A and B are shown apart, each in its own frame.
Chain A
Amino acid sequence: MNLFRFFSKGQSAPAARERLQVLLAHERAATGDVDLVNKLRDEILKAISKHMQVDDEKVSIKMERGAQVSTLAVDIEIPFDAGKKAA
């Protein structure tokens, strides 16, 4: 192995440690069935489907789990006449 390249890269173990801590915190919470982000995702979709026919292809869900904050982005295309159909 090229020694110069070896030393110029910096440590990667701290990144591994941080990633594992965040991931495991979320996974442990999930097995206790208190995974809030998953629950919110399901309930938001349920609420929407009450008011309109949800076309699965038109719903995009993104999550990003962080140490302090997680984000949940639900992006739904609502057709102009969606309200009428449900009524």
Chain B
Amino acid sequence: MGKVIVVTSGKGGVGKTTSSAALGAALAQNGEKVVVVDFDVGLRNLDLVMGAERRVVYDLVNVIQGEAKLTQALIRDKRVETLYLLPASQTRDKDNLTPEGVEKVIAALKNAFDWVICDSPAGIERGATLAMRHADIAIVVTNPEVSSVRDSDRIIGLLDSKTLKAENGERVEKHLLLTRYDAVRAERGDMLKVDDVLEILSIPLLGIIPESMDVLRASNVGAPVTLADTRSAPALAYFEATRRLKGENLPITIPGDKRGFFGKIFGRKAA
């Protein structure tokens, strides 16, 4: 039986889709069978970030409405053979997502995959609540910035009340993924510190992903950042996060700590 992860945040643009693709690919690169599901009905983008946009035949709504079989809607990644994508619909709206339909699809996916990663839309409406509904694990993606932290706090509240686990008196395992972390700004004291965010949200830290050109490059060419350049800083951070997700107890590395003298000079100039 596979595990269901929701990648969520409340706020838009913090890196949910990037993180869903990167973590999904990283798990699959280790040989695990992974499906990444786009819940952003009407505004799908996971297909684009994963480079499968030209190959979408059917989508999640088609499967829910019985117009296509699940196996027909799944798109297999061309680079990692245990990685699959279930795209969202682009032409219909979120009202086409029914709780019963989503439940059926998730149950079927859990049977066939080791990991089912649900990429939540922004906001706290139907798409977002259905994406988190069946989660065993939640990854709360947060930027070190006030509005993002506030929205994450709201989402954590929903995870503790609106999920199936919460309703059954159990707990969804929650992790914080701090993204777009800028070491230079942190050093200058212009950014919320990691400890500040952790103290406010009080959920365990899964990883810190540095702000990086490599993320933009990867999305430009349609590859999860962990596939585009396996040695880039964000890729390494996602690989670490993946190992923690699987239960390993790794010390957290704060990006920028390892920079040498020249790195610091260049870093300052670029800022």
Binding site for B on A (CB under 8 A): 1, 3, 5-6, 9, 12-13, 15-16, 19, 22-23, 26-27, 30-31, 41, 56-57, 59-66
Contact of A60 with B72 in the complex, beta carbons under 8 Å: yes
Q: How far is the CA of A15 from the CA of B216 in the complex (A)?
A: 12
Contact of B90 with A16 in the complex, beta carbons under 8 Å: no
Is B168 located at the chain interface by the 8 A CB criterion?
no
Q: How far is the CA of A60 from the CA of B70 in the complex (A)?
A: 11
Q: Mark B255-271, 1 if CB is under 8 A from A, else 0.
A: 00000000000100010
Q: Which residues of B contact A13 (CB under 8 A)?
A: 220
Q: Which residues of B contact A6 (CB under 8 A)?
A: 213
Contact of A66 with B54 in the complex, beta carbons under 8 Å: yes
Q: Which 4 A-B pairs have the closest CB atoms?
A: A16-B220, A12-B220, A65-B54, A12-B217
Contact of B222 with A19 in the complex, beta carbons under 8 Å: yes
Interface of B is mostly: helix
Q: How far is the CA of A23 from the CA of B212 in the complex (A)?
A: 26
**In angstroms, how far is the closest chain B Cβ from the Cβ of A39?**
13
Instruction: Write the chain A residue with the least CB distance to B214.
Output: A1
Contacting A at CB under 8 A, from B28-59, are 48, 53-58
Could you show 6 A-B contacts with beta carbons less than 8 Å apart? A15-B221, A27-B90, A56-B72, A63-B55, A63-B56, A64-B55
Q: How far is the CA of A66 from the CA of B54 in the complex (A)?
A: 7
Q: How far is the CA of A13 from the CA of B233 in the complex (A)?
A: 20
**In angstroms, how far is the closest chain A Cβ from the Cβ of B222?**
6
17 further contact pairs, Cβ within 8 A, besides A1-B270, A56-B69, A62-B55: A1-B213, A1-B233, A5-B232, A12-B216, A12-B220, A15-B220, A15-B222, A19-B53, A23-B53, A60-B72, A61-B72, A62-B57, A63-B56, A63-B57, A64-B54, A64-B55, A65-B54
Is B91 located at the chain interface by the 8 A CB criterion?
yes
Contacting A at CB under 8 A, from B86-113, are 90-91
A-B interface contact total, Cβ < 8 Å: 57
Is B249 located at the chain interface by the 8 A CB criterion?
no
Contact of B57 with A61 in the complex, beta carbons under 8 Å: yes
Contact of B69 with A57 in the complex, beta carbons under 8 Å: yes
Q: Which residues of B contact A19 (CB under 8 A)?
A: 48, 53, 222
Instruction: Write the chain A residue with the least CB distance to B262.
Output: A3
Most-contacted residue by chain A among B54, B58, B212, B219 (CB, 10 A): B54
**In angstroms, how far is the closest chain A Cβ from the Cβ of B172?**
33
- Across the interface, B221 reaches (CB within 8 A) one of A16, A23, A62, A66, namely A16
- Across the interface, B217 reaches (CB within 8 A) one of A9, A30, A56, A62, namely A9
Most-contacted residue by chain B among A3, A16, A30 (CB, 10 A): A16
Q: How far is the CA of A18 from the CA of B270 in the complex (A)?
A: 29
